Structure formats: C-alpha cells, structure tokens
Amino acid sequence: MSKFLYVFTTGIFLAFAQLSFFFILESELSSAFVTYSSVTLSWLTGIVAGLWISKEDRALEKTLLLANIIWYWVIYLLVKWYPFESKLFPIYIALIICSGIYAGYFFKINKNIYPNVKKLFVHENNGFLVGMVLCTVGFMALGSKFLSMAYLGLVFVLFFLQRVKSLDRQC
C-alpha cells in the first residue's frame, strides 16, 4: 500500500509542480503561448536530464525532491517581486528544468518498484490526473498562495512516504 501511495502522491506532486509553474508565470509574467510552451518544454527537458543521471541513489532522489522547494520558491518570489519582468524569463526556464529533473529521476530510480513498470506509470498517471484537477480548482478558488502551500506540503508528504517505503523494503 505504501508503494501505491508513494507513486500516486508523486503523480499529484508532479501535476502541481508543472501546473504551478504554468499558473504563476501565466498570471504574473505573460499569458502568451510562448509561456505555456516554454514551461512545457523546460519541464520535459528536466525529465530527460533526470533520466540521464547514471547514479541510482535514494539519497539523491530525496535531495532532488527537497531542492524542488528552492526552485519553486525562487520562481514564486521573483514573479511576485518583479511582475511582468520578461528579462527574468531565462532564470525561470532554468529553474523549471532543474525542477523537472526530479520527475525523470523518479521514474529512473523507481522503475523496479513493481514487477511490471506499467503499474508505476498507471499509478503515477492517475495521481497526475487527480493533481491536475486539485491544482486547477485550488488555484481558481484560492489563488497562488494555495499553490505555494500545497507544493510545500506535497514535498513533505512525499519525503515522509519515501521513508515509509524504505522501511517496507527493510521488513
């Protein structure tokens, strides 16, 4: 059960990460298609970079997850302090790539969590779909403060679930 919760919650987190960057930049920087496509391309670039990391280490997975807090908050604070400042766009792109690395690394390091990798993708994808709905509804109802608190909360829930999952493996 803890494997399922971990993978499903990771899907929710990845949806929040991707959509949070999109919603924040769309509302505070530009609502042009370039913003949407840049966020998506940057996120995918980060995923590919995460898949290329040759070292498979649970400590690195935790570090990348916790680093996501930094990447998110730097973007969040910059767009709040400097709204509609397009000169900062390359920084946003670089930080979104850094954030996406966790997603790629998650799939790389957890590919053997189930006997069949399809289960990993199904559970993560279902969590992603739930996360998309929760993130969108939360943002529409409560705004960007909801995104920042939910993002932070999800990182800590995942950190806890990683710990539970590793204890399950030891038993």
And the tokens for 133?
């709905």
Residue spans per domain, the chain: 2-170
Which architecture characterizes domain 2-170 according to CATH? Up-down Bundle (1.20)
Rg (CA), the chain: 16
Task: Give pLDDT tens digits along the chain (171 positions).
Answer: 588 999 999 999 999 999 999 998 888 787 778 888 899 999 999 999 999 998 888 889 999 999 999 999 999 999 999 988 889 999 999 999 999 999 999 999 988 888 888 999 999 999 999 999 999 999 999 988 899 899 899 999 998 888 776 645 544
Which residues, in sequence order, are CB contacts of 31 under 8 Å at separation 6+? none
> Cα–chain-centroid distance for residue 63?
13
What is the reported pTM?
A: 0.89
